[in-house]
Chains A and B, each alone.
Chain A
């Protein structure tokens, strides 16, 4: 994977902020290798219940995208949506690797307790990922809420503020999504 120059990252950020979807994939490439490395270090010893905290992801993104490029931190919504999406991808890729290596054990992912009823074995996690892909097609905003709330650990209030919605709306949306995901996952498991 090619390493992006700082100038390119800056340019990609601009495009992404201007609503250019392809820029997002390239940005992924810019920050992703290092995050995989962090995840790898954390999960190295499976006897420990290591938790990949969203802090690692956010921290890395701040360093890479905001500070090193002296960007003004203005577009919070984009920034955190990107962080949440990356966090999801790191976790899911890790689960996928492990499944491939047939070491399906009990890696704990830091899903918020509201989603804790999902058995977070790697296989289940990947089902969850598939369900989210579906959700993203039908209702991208709801998918974003899930990512922010469950993968990045935003509180409902923070999610509401970021997306300029009321907390009541977020709560209502989340209830629906929880129900929907439950149905999807139990359906596909059966």
Chain B
């Protein structure tokens, strides 16, 4: 059948028109709107059809209730009275057995064969001793099992008269507290069953009855032991999606943690009057299970007027309760991963009891660290960075509380920090941002944005902002870090917060150096140094100000003995100020690097080893350990130990890849040095491969900074060693370009670039063009040469110049 699109549209238009029209005017409207009599009839039929409600059509339905559809009269020794209900795995009947003349009422669940599986009766007898141990006042007993004459498996249980848990709570308008006390009773029954190694696996309000005297009775306990579905049927269909744990919905192995999840879902429903995550189709429940979504906060479920009234309170008061510890408690039950939930029902009982007694619950802190740990697992961040951030933030909160010497304030502050971090991770969740992954930098930027909502004290706020900015710096996000330091410096200056301003300026200056702006770098680090000498500035700020001022100056061609003295001061200051072992080691490290720059490799190596000993004790210092291996490699190289150099640099590179990832600045730095060592070891092809990988990454990271000359340098060396002279020439030219105008024109590094340029040209036989570059190289490199390596370079530059001159004078 082919339908004309225009006719289809017309049909739809007419339908919608008539559907909106009151019934008695429909014919009249239709007559004027449509000339086609057949079409008019059709539209009327359709409108009637759309209105056809299912009540009137019930007669059309096949018989669907068990009574008229083969209700058994007898099941074994039991006389069946009537249907009580039916569910996913079978139909429940009320039945009775004559015992010594007194009719004894029981409930019998006739199971669908697919649910019972094979060997059902044998299993019942095998499990009977376990089921007998389930004897508990709040658990309905499983009395018997059998097969009907027709071969249908059935289970016989105590018959309980009562109403479903949720119905009871609403009917009695129970308060939140009263509801929790009822759930506590349920938990105790479940804990008893778990102790006897029986899990329920289908806990839901309709499986929990409250009797006339107000006691709870759990139905269906033990069924899970007996019900082993056919192999081909997933267990998914046995559970109720709204209350089933994600692992059940995913068809993964089930444990007692499933029941804890269901208890959480029941708590959620009883507290809010809404199912966690909202009512959704079974399909979407499964999607949720596969995506491992974190539970929705209680208060976000939307408290209605009716729900509040049902709990004997107002909407705002109920909201407040739901925003408190109970939210954490419920969320702890509803974690998508079983191992993140309460370890046992007993642990849940403990927290419920604490909550009811007004004491702090135990779940909160674990939740916080869980979130952090989870985020790390998910996003494979540098553990050190994020844990530092977490600790810094928590410490800020706790310290401030201590300062005010009020336990109450401390508690509130800690809570604030926790909800901050909670919100942060929530936002960073990939499902919220709609991106597959969230980078550390984005995460830190988000922290910066959210922070002012949580920390009201401006001094604390700046301290936290500095912590985040430093994490950004650690994470190679220089532009973002620079901006954050600038903000802190500005607000600190206005508030005369000298310590914060000094710290921010020191880092900002250090970043400016790295970005190829030594002028601004020098000015900012100098200001930081000056500010840090004011009284009241913590020793650590002074130490870092000294380090950045002095080391960056020395490293950028403003070398002076004052710098070395400052770095020495920093070490002394760190020791005297009782800074942590770690910070003291950091100061020593910087001093040793400066000593190394000056060519005293032996002293430097001793210090490096001392620092390494400290870093080795610190699991978060894997990157720093790798730095030291890199330094020791350099020392080995300077002592002519090429094999040692290669081994150590490889170690450094591997370490960095592990601690910060293969694309981190640290790993890329070591990768470049590794390429250099490989060239020396005669493995130039491997070196070239490493550089081909590293160079584009460096270009992206800081392709316009003079620091980019360093990877270019090793690229050229690898290219020269493998005979790629034209590529080498282009890269050497680029080296000079990124350095020109950004560093001191007399800097040795510019000489090194020209030296390579000359060599690339010579390799192509273009001696005349090489000559001017060789001259510049010889000129600049003949300057102060501290280290053995530098002296080697001086000699090489001179040799290249002589070479070029000889060829130009005597052209072939």
Contacts and interface: CB of A to CB of B under 8 A. Distances in A.
B183 to A, nearest CB: 27
A58 B284 CA distance: 9
Nearest to A43: B114
Nearest to A47: B70
Given A55-B286, A119-B61, 20 more contacts: A41-B114, A44-B114, A45-B112, A50-B112, A50-B114, A58-B287, A59-B286, A105-B62, A116-B54, A119-B62, A153-B281, A158-B280, A172-B16, A175-B19, A176-B50, A179-B45, A180-B11, A180-B15, A182-B46, A182-B52
Interface stretch (B227-235, B569-577, B716-724, B761-769): B227-235
B249 A113 contact: no
B327 to A, nearest CB: 25
A152 B283 contact: yes
B236 A55 contact: yes
Contact of A106 (B53, B63, B150): B63
B114 A59 contact: no
B199 to A, nearest CB: 20
Contacts of B11: 180
B236 A59 contact: yes
Interface stretch (B1-9, B258-266, B478-486, B655-663): B1-9
A58 B286 contact: yes
B243 to A, nearest CB: 14
A27 B203 CA distance: 36
B112 to A, nearest CB: 5
Interface of B: 1-3, 8, 11-12, 15-16, 19, 42, 45-50, 52-54, 57, 60-64, 66, 69-70, 86, 90, 112-114, 150, 152, 230, 232-234, 236-237, 241, 249-251, 279-287, 290-291, 436
**Residue among B63, B150, B284, B287 with the most chain A CB within 10 A?**
B284
Contacts of B66: 49
Interface stretch (A5-13, A17-25, A133-141): A133-141
19 contacts: A38-B234, A41-B114, A41-B230, A47-B69, A47-B70, A50-B112, A53-B282, A55-B241, A58-B282, A59-B251, A62-B250, A63-B251, A72-B436, A108-B62, A108-B64, A153-B281, A179-B48, A179-B50, A183-B49
A37 B114 CA distance: 12
Nearest to A124: B60
B287 A62 contact: yes
A36 B284 CA distance: 22
B113 A48 contact: yes
Contacts of B16: 172, 176
Nearest to A106: B62
Contacts of A183: 42, 45-46, 49
Contacts of A76: 287
Contacts of A152: 281, 283
Interface in A43-97: 44-45, 47-50, 53-56, 58-60, 62-63, 66-67, 72-73, 76, 80, 83
A117 B282 contact: no
A186 interface: yes
Nearest to B237: A53
Contacts of A58: 282-283, 286-287
A59 B62 contact: no
Given A117-B52, A183-B45, A183-B46, A56 B12 contact: no
Contact of B15 (A54, A114, A176, A181): A176
Contacts of B54: 113-114, 116-117
Contact of A59 (B2, B57, B234): B234
A163 interface: no
Contacts of B1: 134, 137
Nearest to B111: A48
B113 A45 contact: yes
A38 B233 contact: yes
Given A38-B233, A178-B50, A179-B46, A153 B112 contact: no
A66 B283 CA distance: 14
A65 to B, nearest CB: 11
B49 A186 contact: yes
Interface in A162-186: 172, 175-176, 178-183, 186
Contacts of A121: 62
A160 interface: no
Contact of B3 (A40, A114, A138, A181): A138
Given A38-B232, A73-B291, A183-B42, A49 B283 contact: no
B139 to A, nearest CB: 27
A55 B282 contact: yes
Contacts of A155: 279-281
